[in-house]
Structure 1
Amino acid sequence: MSIFAQYWQRRLVTGFPVLAAMQVSVAGEQAAWHLAAPFELNRNDHATAFGGSISTLATIAGWMAVNVVAGEGADVVIQSGATDFVLPIASDFTAHVLPPVADDLAAFERMYVRRGKGRLAVSVEVRTASNQPAATFHGVYVAVRLNQPPALRGSGQTD
């Protein structure tokens, strides 16, 4: 497990007890990562993945993505979100954050640097064990800088 995945695994399961109960795991590196959840602990009475677990995994993936962009010293909260369920899931499942729209990301970074607060729309695809898209999530998150200069990763900007 990468250092990136170890850090986020620890942060997620200690910060969100429901994620520990769901046995959510982080895999990958900062440039390419995803969250995973086992089917058996996240199933419903129809022998498919519970919609609440699918939505939770996607919501947290979006939250984590905004935290990664904002860097240390940010408080990130969700403002709004919606999940569309496309296919039933009867296997382990993963959440993959789609690259944000470049203009949206640039606007977020400008506002975060200038005002210490920024808003970013994030889309997440939840996939089955065979990598088939089964749900999509669209959320808007707000990041607020907490008494520290911004550390926007990959932007080359500092205050």
Structure 2
Amino acid sequence: MNDFSQRWTTRLHQGFPLLKAMQVQLLGDQSDWQLTAPYGPNQNDHHSAFGGSISTLATIAGWLWVSELAGPDIEVVIQTGSTHFLIPLQSDLIAKVCPPDASQTARFLQMLQRKGRARMALEITVGDATGKIAARFNAQYVAG
């Protein structure tokens, strides 16, 4: 595990006890990362991934992405979020942020610098190691 993934995994486990119980890990580096959670502690009584775990993993992936973009001294919270479940997932969970286009990112950073507050809309997918997408999460985060 590199410094980036170790730093974030530790912060997530210390700051969010639920994520420690879910055994969430950040894999990758600053330029290309994903959040993972093993299937075992995140399954439901139907032997598929628990919807709450899927939504939580997606929520945190988006929060982490905006937090990295905004910088260490900026607070980030989720404003709205909606999960659309596509298929059951019966393997380890992998959350990936679909990066917005460069103009949206630039507007966010300009607004944050100018007003001290900005919003970012993101889509996060949760799927498995084969690339199958089990859920799409659309959310808006506020930084300030």
Distance in 1 of aligned mates of 2:133 and 2:29? 22
Q: Which position in structure 1 is the counterpart of 2:96?
A: 96
Q: Which position in structure 2 is the counterpart of 1:116?
A: 116
TM-score using structure 1 length = 0.88
Distance in 2 of aligned mates of 1:138 and 1:2? 29
Q: Which position in structure 2 is the counterpart of 1:62?
A: 62
What residue identity is the alignment partner of 1:31?
A: S
Question: What secondary structure sits across from 1:141 in the alignment?
Answer: strand
* Higher Rg of the two aligned structures: 1
Percentage of pairs with the same residue: 50
Distance in 2 of aligned mates of 1:138 and 1:103? 19
How many equivalent pairs are there?
144
TM-score using structure 2 length = 0.97
Deviation at 1:116, TM superposition (A): 1.1
Question: What secondary structure sits across from 1:138 in the alignment?
Answer: strand
Q: Which runs of 4+ in 1 moved over 4 A?
A: none
Distance in 1 of aligned mates of 2:16 and 2:140? 19
Deviation at 1:80, TM superposition (A): 0.2
Superposed counterparts of 1:4-153, under 5 Å: 4-144=4-144
Question: What secondary structure sits across from 2:105 in the alignment?
Answer: helix
Deviation at 1:106, TM superposition (A): 1.4
Unaligned runs of 5+ residues in structure 2 are none
Distance in 2 of aligned mates of 1:7 and 1:130? 27
